[in-house]
Amino acid sequence: MSKIGIFFGTDTGTTRLVAKKIFSQLGEELADKPKNINRTSPAELLQYDALILGTPSYGIGDLPGLVTGCQEAGWAEFAPYLDGVDLSGKRVALFGLGHQERYADRFASSLIHLYALFYGNGAKIIGRWSTDGYEFKHSAAIVDQQFVGLVIDQRSQPALTDGRIESWLSQITPQLLPQLAQAA
């Protein structure tokens, strides 16, 4: 597909809000409207060669979904549909939410599970994000001293959200555009 697909899991609606902000900054020329992962099919997600995927941070050691206490199905329920699916040729940028004050010992850690799912199936993951500006004890979502994607703390640092999204999109959009050109 010649646009960026934006998919997210959510429980309280905050990840949906961030996905909408990302879409708003990208514009409908580059991206399709964000879709909740529990209201889509694997075929719909797989039609995109350039993806932005978002996750809340619930549970410990799991993708968020019913198993982690979410009220609705999420990434945990969607992940089995991708078992054995070759995602080579897909370029994926990730964003995750977290609350660094309340969950300092596992800040935004669910993001690593989304990373592992897509990277493990051959997708090229782009859009690492600096840990500067956050205060936490531990995050499983750090590889080579950077988050594996954009991390948003809408609870403790809401005033920084729009600027972080803008900066991250300026980094990833040029990396996603070649995928769009190939799909056209």
End-to-end alpha-carbon separation of the chain, Å? 7
Supply the pLDDT for residue 178: 74
Stretch 140-164: mean pLDDT: 95
169 pLDDT higher than 60: yes
- Tell me the domains of the chain and their CATH numbers: 5-183 (3.40.50.360)
Per-residue pLDDT band for 60 (boundaries 50, 70, 90) equals low
Percent of the chain with pLDDT over 70: 92
| Per-residue pLDDT at 75 | 87
Residues 64 and 155: their CA atoms lie apart, in Å, by 18
Tell me: pLDDT of 80 over 60: yes
pLDDT at residue 105, as a whole number: 85
52-61, 71-80, 94-103, 155-164: range with lowest mean pLDDT: 52-61
Closest CA relative to residue 6, chosen from 109, 25, 98 = 25
The whole-number average pLDDT for the span 32-46 is 94
Q: Nearest CA to 95 among 22, 175, 44?
A: 22
Q: How far is CA 24 from the centre of its chain?
A: 16
